[in-house]
Amino acid sequence: MDSLELNNLLEKYWNCDTSLEEEQKLKEYFRGEVPESMKETAQLFRYFEEQQKLSVGQSNFEAEVKKKIVAHRPKGKSVALYFNIARIAAGVLVVVAAGYFVRQEVRKAYPVEQEDTFSDPKLALEETKKALMMISNSFNKAHKEAGKINLFNEAEEKIQGKRADEKKVNI
């Protein structure tokens, strides 16, 4: 095989455009003596052939893979993971406990007891009525002011409606 034909076949091979016959020609060529410039390519083709010759036994394959996985499993990672989880859990526990004790101390310092502000229930009722009347008056004033805003909004909508009508006429 001349160098031009070889280079064309290799280019087709690297672009995945070769037929099975052309690939067979390349394999046969690289089995023999090759020039120095093609040594790496020859090694690659020889490697492919060696890998094709290897067979995997059905019964031993799974056992061999499991052995390799167990042999290469890092042993310290799981312990480190549990250690990190324990550190995080301890930190959370400390924060929760501190929050609980601070809350207890605040409750002791500032006890919350409901005391009656009025001893006479009738007086308490009168004060409550006064407070509710003040709130009602405030709501009424706010409602009147909101009515003014509604008038403003209606006027604005009318103006915008006229402008929209003018634009339609101009178009």
The model's pLDDT over 73-103, given as tens digits with 9 standing for 90+, comes to 766 666 677 888 999 999 999 999 999 999 9
Residues 118, 130: Cα–Cα separation, whole Å? 15
pLDDT > 70: what percent of the chain?
Answer: 85
Encoded tokens for 83 = 């250690």
19 vs 153, higher pLDDT = 19
Residue pair 17/6 in contact (Cβ under 8 Å)? The answer is no
pLDDT for 132 equals 92
- Give the residue-averaged pLDDT of 60-76: 77
Asked whether the beta carbons of 48 and 25 are under 8 A apart, the reply is no
- pLDDT tens digits for 3-53? 888 888 888 988 998 898 988 888 888 888 888 888 888 888 888 888 888
Helix then strand count (H, E) for the chain reads 6, 0
Question: Is pLDDT at 107 greater than 60 in this prediction?
Answer: yes
